[in-house]
Each structure stands twice: as C-alpha cells, then as structure tokens.
Structure 1
Amino acid sequence: MARHAARKPLGQILHERAAVAPGDLLKALALRERQDVRLGDILLAHGWVRDTDLMAALASQWDASVVDLEAEPPDPRLIDRIGAAECLRHAMVPWRRVGGTTIIATARPEDFLGLRHTLPATLAPFAMVLAPEREIHAALLAQRQTGLIRAAETRVPPAESCRTRNEPRLARIALTTLAGLALGLWVAPMAVFGLLVFWAVLTLAATNALKLAAFLAEVIGRARDRRCPRPPAAAIARLPVVSILIALYREDDIAARLVARLAKLHYPRELLDVMLIVEEGDATTRAALNRACLPGWMRIVTVPNGPVKTKPRALNFALNFARGSIIGVYDAEDAPHPDQIHTVVRRFHDRGPEVACLQGVLDFYNPRTNWIARCFTIEYASWFRSLLPGLARLGLVVPLGGTTLFFRRAALERLGGWDAHNVTEDADLGVRLARYGYRTELIPTVTEEEANCRILPWVRQRSRWQKGFAMTWGVHMRDPILLWRQLGAWRFFGFQVMFLASLSQYLLAPVLWSVWVLTLGLWHPLSEMMGAGPLIALSALFLASEAITLVVAAWAVRGRKHRFLLPWVPVLNVYLPLGTLSAWKAMYEVITCPFYWDKTAHGLFDTDPTDAPVPVPVRR
C-alpha cells in the first residue's frame, strides 16, 4: 500500500512528458473530481492526449511493460480458463504463462490488485502488463469470436426464450385450429360464429377497460404530482458512465445524421460511451460511419455473422464491450432531446434499485408528411403519453418501446439481456423485468424519430410487432402457474389483456365489423339469437370503445406541438383497421418464418429541422 501511495500521479507524468497541454490537464483533473471515470478516459474522449502517449505514461506510473497484442496474441487456452465475457467485463486478457506465473494484459492497472483475487486460483500467481482497451477487445474477438456470438444468441435462459419453440408442433396446432374452425363453420356455423363474436366482444370490453383505467390513472396521477411534487433529491456526487447501444443495419442513408444528432447531447463526453453496432457483412453502413468522422466517445462494434441476424442479438453482443453502469438503447433514426441523459441519470439516482428500466417518450419529426404520418403520431402520443404511463402507475407490466430505453446494467445482465430470437425484444424484456420483481417508469423526455408513412412498409413494420407480441405471449405462457405466481393476479390479467386480447382484437376485427349491420336493422347470422336488450348493450359497447379511443387520442395531442392533429383524430377509424392486415400477416409468419426481421427503411422522410451540422471533436 505504501508503494501505491508513493506512485507518481498520471497527470504529473503526462505533464512532464509534454503529452498533454497544461490547460487541458487542469480541465481533465477538475472533471474527474465530480465524475466516475478515469483520468485517461477523460483525456482520450476529448482528444487531449494520444493513445500511445497515455499507455507510455501508464507504463511509467505502474512500472509495467506495454505489449502488442496484435503482434503477440494471447493464449486462447488461458482465455477459456477465465471466460471471454469475463475478460471483456474487466478490460483484460490473460496473455502468457511464464515460469508458473500468469501474465495479465489490462487497460485498467488501478483495478489489477482487486481483480487478481477474482481469477481462478489455479492460474496464480499473476503479473501485470498493459495494453490499450481496443487491442484487448480485438484480441479477444480474434481468439473467441464464435463463442461470444453464440453466447449473444443464447443469453436468455431457454425457458424464457422463443428460440426453444417447437415449430412443427406450433404449425400442427395452427393448422388443426384452422381446420377445426372451418369444420365448425360447416357443421354448426351459428354456434362457431357466435363463439367468435363472444370472444371478440369480450376482448373488446377488456382492452377498452384497460385503456380507460390507464388513461384515468395517468390523468389523476399528473394532477396529484402537481399538487404534491416530490422533494428535490440530493445532488449526485459523481456522474456515472452511460453506454448507448445503437444497432444499425443498412443505414448508409442516415448514419451521418445520427452522429450529428448524438453530438447534441449535453452529457459530458468523457461519460458517454456511444456504440454504433454494425453487422459484419454490412459494408455500406460501416463505410458511411467512417465518412462521418467519429469522435473519440463514439466507436463501432462489429457483430460477426451468424445464423440469426436480429437487433437483440446485436445488442447482446455489444453489451460485452460496454463501459457504463447505465445502458441505453436508441434507434438509427432517433433524435433525442439534448438533456435526455441527464434526466435519466437523475431519475435512477432518485429511485431505488427496484426501478431497473426507464422508458422515454417517442415522437415523430415528420408528422405532416401525409395522413398516415399524422395518424401514426396520434397513435404514438396516445401510447407513450397516456397508456404506458398509466400502466406503470397501475403497477402493470409495461411493454417497452424499443428505443429511448435505459437500464441499470446489473439488472439487465441478471435477466440475461435480450432474447436474440424475439422480433419484439423490447416488449419481451418488459415482461421479464416484471417477472423478476423490477419496475419500469416513464420519464418526461422525448426522442423524435421518423414516422413510417407508406402503407405497405407500415403493414410490414406493424406485423413484426404483432408477431413479436404473439411469440412473447406464447413464451411466457409456457407455465401459466409460474407466471401467475411471479406477476400476481392483477398483473397476470393485465398481461393477458395487453398481449392476447389486443392481438385478438386485430384478428377478429372483421367479425366485429360485421355485427354493425345489426344496428342498421339488416340481417346477420346472429339476428335471431340477439334480442333488443343484447343489441342495445352491444351498440353501447361499440360506441363507448370509439369514444374512449377518440378521447384518449385528443387528450394526448392537446399540447401546443400536436394541437394541429386534433382534427385528424376521427381519421383513426380509417387508420387502425390497417392493423388487421398486419395481424394476419403476423400470424402467417409466426408459423413460417418466426425469426425473420422485416426491416423498416429509414431516412425516406427525414425532415428533422434540428439537423444542422454540429462540430464534434476529432479523434487524435
């Protein structure tokens, strides 16, 4: 310990070597006092020091050698003794075994003393050498790439992942169900059609009851928050590092704009760890990012090819390389509010560890493109400004939105990250968070993205979401009794309504549309089965459901920014039926291609007015 106390400070060594300007060094030292980050990372993030100069200074400070891992790769057998993922977590790699001593190459020499006590005792004793973190990552990938990518595909336990679904069995069930319905409609058409109407009406009542309850909970909750605001929280002593994961695939048309938008975030650059995740075979996106001149706080993570190519698989792989204690997720077309990361950090600081996820509000920056864009904006406003906050206030499962998500890293890793085979990994993760006792909260910070405003792409995108909802429901209902125990009765029924009933509504919408003819006095298969009383009750339910949808939508767009959309709220009656087309497409794909990711094209109507160029520091 005495030797450690007498060690010459890194800043002094850099100053003596003239490796950093005195003014930059003073600013870095001041930043380190209030941030949970190393001095070297601050200097590198701002481009105030070269990587080679920093490593030479660290070698002098710790009296250690710097090794070239590219010229002298580590021993893969030693990596297997510790585990590649564990090596990545600590930015180190076992390099050689010489004379009975295991030599560890690390980018964090200050952590070596504590680290060696966590390593396998059979490898002791240990000695330290230094290597840049990027070289350690590259060496681990070169040696154990296949293992890391397979781990990314299977991080979630089999019982909680849709990768273990029995496709032949599911196909048989689906075909048997369709055959049974066809036979029933031929043998007893009135009974079968009546059963379909009953289920459609039941799910209609359930979904609208949940929508109304969530809406009232949010309205009342906001009023209560205004009357009794929370007391100001204690100041944050040291700001944490936040890693932002952004999965890109064939995004050459939006990469430069994404870099410019992220550069507007106000969070300190040395505490931002932005990871642009690119598939190995996606040369166009990587070339576009190289043209964008990435600053030091952004880096590219290349995901090796594999049998599954999905966003959650890419996120799982990149999670190994993240430096932050908070993990955020953005989409390629996102334009987050500049103060968003500060809002996230403050909320996590104010809440206990049971709040493991924060969901931001999603909005669109092209709502005036056409009528689909306007309706999509209204739908998103209802979902993110009313329904999701209301579900959180009611203590129900919150199906996450896929972007502007932030997690406590410890909780995310405990759950195994994302299900690499689920095409709505966000909604699935929201359910698993609830099952493990964590809470999700909505935060009043907005990320704008591009509205999908062409009919066929809209149907394809919506079908992927609905397919994922169906698969998520199927996965978590493998053991209904266990799910009931983990969620409790209230959240269990909320889960059924949110996933099963809402999907049933889209699938059976034509059945409900046919019932409208009864209100017009026309003949219907149920004409003889329904008297005046049931017909009046059914008409009242239909009118009430329409009123709830319109009232929630109008309330959600009442603000100054969205007020121009109020006259378009009634058009939702024309827009929402598109979901029936996508739902039947989704059911077909659940059987034929469950893991197919129907990608949404971005940058086609990209008219964000805030996209003026922003100067970003260049890596030195």
Structure 2
Amino acid sequence: MDLAPHAFVPYEWKHTPSEIGHASGSSGTRTNSDAAVIDIERDFLVDLGASPDQIRRLENDAARARVSLVQAAVAQGAIRASDLTARLSRSLDLSEPAAGEATRLPEAPDEAWRLFDTPVRLSARAGRMIAVNGETYSPTALAALAQRLGAKRERVMLMTRQGLIDAVTRSHGSAMVETAVRGLLMARPDWSAKAGLAAWQLYFATVAVGLVLGAVAFAPAETLTLASAMLSIFFLLTIALRAAAAVNIALPRPKAKEARLLGDAELPRYTVLVPLYRETAILPHLAHALASIDYPAAKLDIKIVLEASDRDTIEAAQKLAFPGNVDLVVVPDREPRTKPKALNYALHFASGEFVVIYDAEDRPEPDQLRKAATVFAQAPADLVCLQARLDYYNARENWLSRQFTIEYATLFRGLLPLLARFRLPLPLGGTSNHFRAAALREIGAWDPYNVTEDADLGMRLARAGYRTGTLESTTWEEACCRPMPWLKQRTRWLKGWMQTFGVHMRRPREAMSELGVAGFLSFHAYFAGIIVSALAHPVFYILMLYEVLQGRLFAGEGAMENLLLWIAAVNFVGGYAANIALSAFAVAGTRHRHLMLHVMFIPVYWLFVSAAAYRALWQLFHAPFHWEKTEHGVSRLARPFPA
C-alpha cells in the first residue's frame, strides 16, 4: 500500500485542555453544544475494555505525570496501541492502513529520517496524505483536528508508533542505514576510524620501526636503555593517574547532600536504547528489567534495537508482551555489523530529550533515569553526558570474574570519578551512558567503524567543548567468566582503544588545543598507557628472566645495562603498587570487599590482558572493523540485587 505523506508528526505532547475539542456529528463522536470538555478518553478506555479500577489508577498516574490518560494507558499496556488507533480512525472518519498490507512512505528520505527528532507542523495540502502517530495525540485533540479539517480528514491516516517505524524502515531503511554508517565519516572524516592512520602516522611508524631495528642490531644495550627511558614516560603518566585516583578515593570528603529527585510531572521524555544481537535467551530478563524502571511509563521511549539478519531474536521479541512504550527497531542489514551502527540507526526514531544506552543483560538501579534527569536539570548546559557506575553481579563465579570485577571497580569507582572531578575527558563505558540527545546528534553520535565506540565518543564530546560527569547510580552486568569469550571481548576493547588513540592523534596540536594540556596528558595516560603497558608487560618478564638465567640481575657489567634494569624495576614496582592500592581502595567498603586479597593476582591477570593486546594489534591490521560478539546470559549465579 502506497501512502504519500506531506508531513510526519513526531512525539509531541498534545493533550492540554486548550486543545480539547469535538468533531461534527458525522464523525461519530459525541458533541456538546455548551462547549464543555467531554471525557472522550474515559469513553475510549471503557470501549476498549479497561476496568473502572484500571481507569482510576491510570487517571492518578496521568495526573501525576501530566500526560494524557490514553497515553498512560497505552504506555502501561492497559490497552493496545493498535486497538486505540483503529477505534480513533473509525470514530473520527480518519484513514487507517488496510489490513494485511505493508504501508510504504515514498516521501523523500531526508524528511523520513527526521521523523522522530524534528517537530513538524501538521498540515493538509491538496492531494497529500498525512501519516500521524495515533499515540501522540489524545482523542480529544484528534477530534478537534478532525473538526478543523472537515472533509479533508480522510487524508489523515492514523498509525501506531510501531507501524510508523516499520513503514519508515520499509520505505527508507536503506538510505537511513547509509546515513547511520557514513554520517560521521562524511561530516568529520578526521574523527572517523574508517579513514585509518594519517599519512604522517604511517611514515612515522615505518621510520621508527626501522630505526629501532637498526639500533638494536648495532647497539642493543644503549637502544634498550633509551627505549626504556622513553617508554617510562607513558608508564609514569599511567602510574601518576592511578596513584591520584587511589588518593582521591582514600581522602575523606564530606558527603554531598542528595538533591530532591524530580517528580513525575517535572520529568522529561527519556529514550532508552537497548541493542540486541543473538540475545534470544536473555529477552525475558530484559523485559523484567525494563518494567522495573522507576519512571512514568508515558514518558519512557524504549527502543529494542535488532539486526535484520538476526531473525531468531526478532521473532522472540515480537512474541513478548511488551507494553506500549516499547518499540522494536529493526536495523537493515549493512556492513559493518557493529553496535554503534545499530545505535545510530535507532537514534533516528528517538523522541526523548535524553538518551541512555543499556545492554541486554543490564540491570540498572530502578531510579537511575530519575537521578540522571535531576542532575541534568540542575547542571549547566555544557554537561551533556553522565556515566553511571557499572558493576558485576557474578563476581564470585570464578577467578576470571573476580579479576574482571576488580578491574571495573578501579575504573568506575576510581579513575572516572577522578577525571570527572577535574573536568578531564572521560573514556565512557559501553552502557549506562546518559546523553542530552541534541548534543549527541550534534557531534555525529557514534562512530560505526570504532569497535570501542564508547571511549571514542567520550573523547569527541570533550574535544567539542562538552563535559561528562559521573552518576551515583549502579548498573549491574554479567562479568565475562569464560576464557575464550573474555579474550575476544578484551581484544575488541583494546583494538578500539588503539583505533581511538590513532584517530585523536591524527592532529596532535589540534587535539591538545581542544582538550587542553591536562586533558591531552590524561588522554595519553589512559589510552597510550594502557596500550603500551599491555604490550610491554610480557617483554619485561622475558628480559628479567633472561637476566636471572644469566646471573646478572642488577649486577651487569656496564652502567647502561644497570640503568635499564633500574628503570624497569621502578616502573614495575610503581605500576603494581599504584594499581594494587587503587584496586584495594575501590573494592573496600562495597559488597566486593571479599576481593581485597585477590588484588594481589593483578600481575597475573595483566598477562592475559597482554595476550589480548597482541591479538588486538594483529586484528587492527587484518580485521580492523570486525566486531566479536560477547555472549550474555551464561552465568550460573543468581540475578543481581541492589547495591
């Protein structure tokens, strides 16, 4: 079925008393000659099978949130959106899609992909049909619209929000996914990982490798000494950053007075994006987690983001009884098959003032969105992102999950709060990032060619002059607890950090100007420090073992050799001491205090990280955009409980 829309109506709240009206008698709706407000919404709910108790409860919820009664009913699942739309169409003499036909919207794609983020005035021009989301407007507002249009009302086609999303995807999905993939590359090619290394970076790397190999051949001791001294700069930056984070945790600070959380009426519309791929088994847990969010249902815009090639998960999701505030967004098949590409596509349909990302296995604290909205409301406009804490509910599963939990504690309870306190750029985690939607769109959203898109996005926000903070709320996740899935996940992360470092060092002077000296140094301390230390860590052990076997440890014949060993020893002791102290402080005072003794095994864990780093380096040249999916829902332990 072809539908030629002139204008698309996104999610505007149209339910105020001034907009309440009534249609002419021919429309089949009730009239009131005294122009009194008619409770059409209650009549619709009764007609659609809502009980008196349900209606009373919905009226209270709608009044608290200042939303339409019908919108509250659809969002909470009391009535179905399809039933509401069909009933409205019949009552107001509006058109509706023919049963069994797939509606298509042959309008220009550049209008279609602005469907859900740009306000569009409703108009009825000759020969044009108007596709309207029937869940956006209350029945009273639609009745007034029908009366104003008169005979032209037949040009208005009411559709459900899900139906409109599906129609747009069928009509313009290929163009929209192309924008999701190439948008950043076309607007800011210097910020896209697709472009690879700059010419000067390739020349520099080639010359540097050649010089090092030649120097090692002719003066190995002196070369190793000089290389160790140069690498120690990265190590010392990393050591300083982690030591400062440990001190930041250890120093007592007065507890900040908690702000009053916004009430339902004050809360803005919030979009929740949940990308899934081959996650059939975890869908029921996801539905439960989404239902546990403490936020007015009618102000939640939840998008389950699916890949067209993943038919099993699509079919499983379609069978679940999600409430009316949950939509399924199916991303057309297009390389690269990455999470950021899927998020970029889904962002076209997001209607919230704020956007948050959750993974399939995530269990955020129920009031997290309310806390984030409160912080944003009280913060200056340049604070455009909040990173909630990530933690693991299966820390006790095995040695790997314990080390993974310690590592996350050091990042989300140690490093990120320090960076946020001093307004330094934050490398975001892959989930529980809360954004101002306008700023996210402004900078081009996620880079679909960066396999650690979250950390890169944190740097781009900082370079654009925006600030990221941390949120005092926890999202519980499942720690990767099996060796091969852990290795693949860590390979992807490290490969993405290498991509991110390469992207933001294409123009070092420009990056330093935008980040500031402190931000530029912290960027190197985090990204370069992690990459270099992961690659150099096993080399140190090999050299130390060689010296021990030769019987020359700290007893070399020359000053250069001894200096090399002392530099390595300082980095070794300082690095381990700073990390162990930070890790110990990070897990102390939490439900993970039982991990205090396990921080001593961090050096062993780092050897596994080094293996992933070399695998990441290999993939960086042979499969730079390959996304190794992490399987979720494999833990044998119970689901999480509040912190």
One-letter identity of the residue aligned with 2:241: L
Decide whether the 8 Å contact of 1:109 with 1:130 is kept in 2.
no
Change (3 A) 1:464 1:4: closer
1:476 CA drift (Å): 1.5
When normalised by structure 1's length, the TM-score is 0.86
Matches within 5 A, 1:242-253: 242-253=270-281
Deviations 1:328-375 (A, max 9, x none): 111122222233222222222232322211111111121122211111
- Which residue is equivalent to 1:388? 416
CA contact under 8 A between 1:93 and 1:136: conserved in structure 2?
no
For 1:4-15, list aligned pairs within 5 A: 4=19, 6-7=21-22, 8=38, 10-14=40-44
- Preserved CA contact (<8 Å) 1:155 1:418: no
2:238 corresponds in structure 1 to 207
- Residue 512 of structure 1 and its aligned partner are, at CA, apart by 3.1
Q: CA deviation at 1:147?
A: 0.5
What amino acid maps onto 2:116 in structure 1? L
State the Cα distance separating 1:469 from its structure 2 match. Answer: 0.7
Query: Is 1:27 the equivalent of 2:57?
Result: yes
Q: Confirm or deny: 8 A CA contact 1:104 1:128 kept in the other structure.
A: yes
Partner of 1:456: 484
Q: CA deviation at 1:176?
A: 6.1
Does structure 2 retain, via aligned residues, the 8 Å contact 1:197–1:512?
no
Query: Which one is further off, 310-319 or 432-441?
Result: 432-441
Answer yes or no: is the 8 Å Cα contact 1:94–1:102 preserved in 2. no
Q: For the Cα contact (< 8 Å) 1:207–1:501, is it kept in 2? A: yes
Aligned position for 2:96: 67
Answer yes or no: is the 8 Å Cα contact 2:94–2:155 preserved in 1: no
Q: Identity rate of aligned residues, in percent?
A: 31
Q: Distance in 1 between matches of 2:557 and 2:311?
A: 62
User: How far is the alpha carbon of 1:423 from its aligned partner?
Assistant: 0.2
> Which position in structure 2 is the counterpart of 1:224?
253
Using a 3 Å threshold, how does the CA distance of structure 1 residues 149 and 10 change in structure 2: closer, same or farther?
Answer: farther
State the Cα deviation string for residues 451-481 of structure 1 (Å, max 9, x = none): 1123332222111111111111111222222
1:134 positional shift: 2.0
Structure 1 residues 10 and 175, CA, compared in 2 at 3 Å: closer, same or farther?
farther
Q: Whole-Å Cα distance in 2 between the matches of residues 285 and 258 of structure 1?
A: 13
Contact 2:225 2:563 in 1 (8 A): no
Could you say what secondary structure the match of 1:243 adopts?
strand
Q: Is 1:566 matched up with 2:596?
A: yes
Cα distance in 2 for residues equivalent to 1:415 and 1:293: 36
8 Å CA contact 1:95–1:102 kept in 2: the answer is no
Other-structure match for 1:576: 606
The AA in structure 1 aligned to 2:357 is: V
Secondary structure of the structure 1 residue equivalent to 2:108: helix
Moved more, 272-281 or 85-94: 85-94
In the alignment, which of 489, 504, 515 is matched to residue 487 of structure 1?
515
Whether the 8 Å CA contact 2:389–2:474 is kept in 1: the answer is: yes
Q: Do the aligned partners of residues 588 and 523 (structure 1) sit closer, same or farther apart at CA in structure 2, a change above 3 Å counting?
A: same
> In structure 1, how many angstroms separate the alpha carbons of the residues matched to 2:48 and 2:419?
57
Letter of the aligned partner of 2:214 in structure 1?
A: L
TM-score calculated relative to the size of structure 2: 0.83
Matched residue, 1:596: 626
What is the alpha-carbon distance in structure 1 between the residues aligned to residue 200 and residue 520 of structure 2?
A: 26
- In the TM superposition, what is the alpha-carbon distance from 1:191 to its structure 2 partner? 3.6
- The CA deviation at 1:50 is 3.4
Secondary structure at the counterpart of residue 116 of structure 2: helix
Q: Retained in 2: the 8 A contact 1:266–1:338?
A: yes
TM-aligned CA deviation for residue 526 of structure 1: 7.5
Does the 8 Å contact 2:554/2:562 carry over to 1?
no
SS of aligned partner of 2:115: helix
Structure 2 letter corresponding to 1:263: A
| Compared CA separation, residues 182 and 213, structure 1 to 2 (3 A) | same
Give per-residue Cα distances to partners, 1:378-408, cap 9 Å, x unaligned: 1111111111111111211110010111111
Matched, 1:48 2:78: yes
- 1:607 and 2:621 aligned: no
The 8 Å contact of residues 92 and 136 in structure 1, kept in 2 or not, is answered as no
TM-superposed deviation, 1:79: 3.1
Q: Does 1:196 align with 2:222?
A: no
The CA deviation string for residues 156-204 of structure 1, in whole angstroms up to 9 with x for no partner, is 2322111222699977876665455433322332343223212332211
1:416-435 CA-to-partner distances (Å, cap 9, x unmatched) read 11111110000011011111
Q: Residue 66 of structure 1 aligns to which amino acid in structure 2?
A: S
CA contact (8 A) 1:92 1:106 kept: no
Indicate conservation of the 8 Å contact 1:265/1:339, yes or no. yes
Indicate conservation of the 8 Å contact 1:325/1:408, yes or no.
yes
Alignment correspondent of 2:355: 327
Q: Deviations over 1:139-165 (max 9, x none)?
A: 211111110110111232322111222
CA distance in 2, matches of 1:458, 1:279: 23
Aligned mates of 1:287, 1:215 — CA distance in 2 = 48
Which residue identity does 1:282 align to in structure 2? D
Matched residue pairs, number?
593
The question of 1:257 aligning with 2:288 is answered no
Aligned residue for 2:183, secondary structure, equals coil
Residue 472 of structure 2: aligned partner: 444
Instruction: Give the one of 338, 341, 344 matched to 2:372.
Output: 344
Post-superposition Cα deviations, 1:102-140, rounded to whole Å, max 9, x if no partner, equal 6454444579x9xxxxxxxxxxxx975432222222221
Matching of residues 222-371 of structure 1 within 5 Å:
223-226=252-255, 229=257, 232=260, 237-371=265-399
Q: Determine which of 406, 427, 432 is the counterpart of 1:378.
A: 406
Compared CA separation, residues 557 and 16, structure 1 to 2 (3 A): closer
The amino acid across from 2:575 in the alignment is: S
